[in-house]
Amino acid sequence: MMKATNIRLAFGMILAGLLISACSGGLGPKPTEKEIFIDPNEGTTEEASTPISTPTLRPASTNTPEPPAGPTQAATPTNTLNPYDTLIFEGVQLRIGEQFDAAIAKFTEAIQTDPTNPQAYIERGITNSNTDKLDEAIADINFAINYDPASAQAYNARGVVWARKEQFEQAIKDYNKAIELQPDFPKAYSNRAIAYMLQSQFEEGIADFSKVVELTPDNPEAYFNRGQAYITAMNQQLNETYTELCIADFTQVLAFQPEDPESLFSRGLCQSLKGNFVRSMEDYSAAIGFDPERANYYLFRALLYPDIGTQEQALADAQKVLDLSQDPDMRQAAEQILREVPLTPTPTPGATPTPLA
C-alpha cells in the first residue's frame, strides 16, 4: 500500500515547484496593456501541454479601455469628438483586437496632430510594450511624463514596462509615484503587488492586494489575486492564518462566480494545506466538472490518496494527467502515482474479510 508520507511528500514537492516557478522572472509570454499578470494562458485550454497554473494572478478585464484621468481622456466617439480623441479611441480598439501595427499608426497620427498631448505617447508606449519593443515603450512614456509630470497613468504604464524588463525595483518606484499622484488607483496597487511578489516581498504584496480589495470590493479578481498571493506566501512558511484567509478569498470569488474552476481548484489547494481533504476533494471535483481538460486538477485530486479517495480514482486521475499533458513535471508526478498506488481494489467499507485457509 502506498504510504501517506510518500504522497504528502510528492504533494509538497510539486507545490513548492509550482510556486517557485510562478514567482520567477522568466515567465514566458509577457503581460499586456496596463496590468501585469502571471498566467498568460488564463482561460485557455491547451491540447498538447497544460501548465500547472498555481498560482495565477488575473488582471481586470481589458475589453474596455480604462479612461485616463485628466483632460486627455479618450471617450467613445461622438459627433463632438475632435480628431485627436477619435484617433486615440480607434487606436485603443485596434490594440484590443491585437492589430498592433495599425494601432501604432493611429497613435503616431495622433502625435502628429498634437505633439504635446501626452495621451498618444502613453497609448503608443503600451502598444510597443505589447509587441516587446520595450525600449521604444520607455521612450514614448518618457515623452508623456515630460509633457504631463502629474500623470499617474503614465507612471503606472512605465512601471509595467520596467517590470517586463525584469527591473522590478525601478517598476516599484514608478508605481509608488503613480500612487502618490492618485492614491485611489487600483491598477497601480495591483501592479506593485505583483512586483513585490516577484521580489519575494510577500507581506508588501499582500498589503497591496488588500488595498485593491478595499478600493474595488465588488471585483472578484481582487479577491482571486490576493488568494493566490496567500498561496505563494505559504510556500515560504505554512501560516495557518494565511490558509484561512486564502480559503475566505476564493469563497468570496465563488460568491460572485460560482462556476469559476480556477477558484474552485485554488480553494481546494488551500483546503489541502489546512488538512481539509474532504472539502479539497469536493472543490477539485467541482473544478473538473466545469473544466474537464485541465490536467492539474486531476493531478492534485490524485494526490489526495490515501488520505481520501480510492485507489481506482487515484490511478484514473493519474492516467488522465498523462492523456492531457506533456508537461514533464506533471507527467513525472503522475507516473509516480501509477507506480506506487497498488492495483488491488479498495475494500468496500464494512465488507467481511475472506477467512484465511
* Sign of the torsion angle spanned by Cα atoms 88, 115, 156, 80: negative
Amino acid identity for residue 11 in this structure: F
Least confident span in 48-57, 83-92, 159-168, 259-268 = 48-57
pLDDT score at 309: 86
Instruction: Report, as an integer, the average pLDDT of 17-27.
Output: 36
Which residues, 6 or more positions from 128, have their beta carbon under 8 angstroms from its beta carbon? 104, 134, 136, 137, 140
pLDDT score at 261: 98
pLDDT digits (tens, 9 = 90+) for 115-150: 999 999 999 999 999 999 999 999 999 999 999 999
Instruction: Report, as an integer, the average pLDDT of 78-87.
Output: 81
User: To the nearest whole number, what is the mean pLDDT of the chain?
Assistant: 81
**Residue 252 phi/psi, 5° resolution?**
-65, -40
pLDDT digits (tens, 9 = 90+) for 216-263: 999 999 999 999 999 999 887 767 889 999 999 999 999 999 999 999
**Residue 86, Ramachandran bin (φ over 0: left; ψ between -120 and 50: alpha; else beta):** alpha
Q: Which of 150, 84, 158 is nearest to 117 (CA)?
A: 84
pLDDT score at 158: 98
d(CA 70, CA 185): 14
Report the run of H or E that residue 150 belongs to, with start and end.
Answer: none
- Residue 175 pLDDT > 70: yes
109 within 8 A of 87, measured Cβ to Cβ: yes
- Residue 14 pLDDT > 50: no
C-alpha grid cell for residue 332?
513525472
- Residue 292 pLDDT > 90: yes
- Residue 63 pLDDT > 90: no
- Residue 355 pLDDT > 80: no
Peptide bond into 306 cis (omega under 30): yes
**Residue 230 phi/psi, 5° resolution?**
-60, -40
98 within 8 A of 86, measured Cβ to Cβ: no
What are the structural domains of the chain? 4-69+151-340 (1.25.40.10)
Instruction: Say which residue, 46 or 133, is predicted with more confidence.
Output: 133
Q: Is 328 exposed, middle or buried (0-12, 13-18, 19+ CB in 10 A)?
A: exposed
Reported as a pLDDT band with limits 50, 70 and 90, residue 180 is very high
- Residue 29 pLDDT > 70: no
pLDDT score at 239: 78
pLDDT score at 237: 75
Amino acid identity for residue 166 in this structure: E
C-alpha grid cell for residue 147?
509633457
- Residue 41 pLDDT > 80: no
Q: What is the pTM of this model?
A: 0.77
d(CA 292, CA 205): 32
Percent pLDDT > 90 in the chain is 69
**Residue 132, Ramachandran bin (φ over 0: left; ψ between -120 and 50: alpha; else beta):** left
pLDDT score at 37: 34
Q: Which residue has the cell 483632460?
A: 71
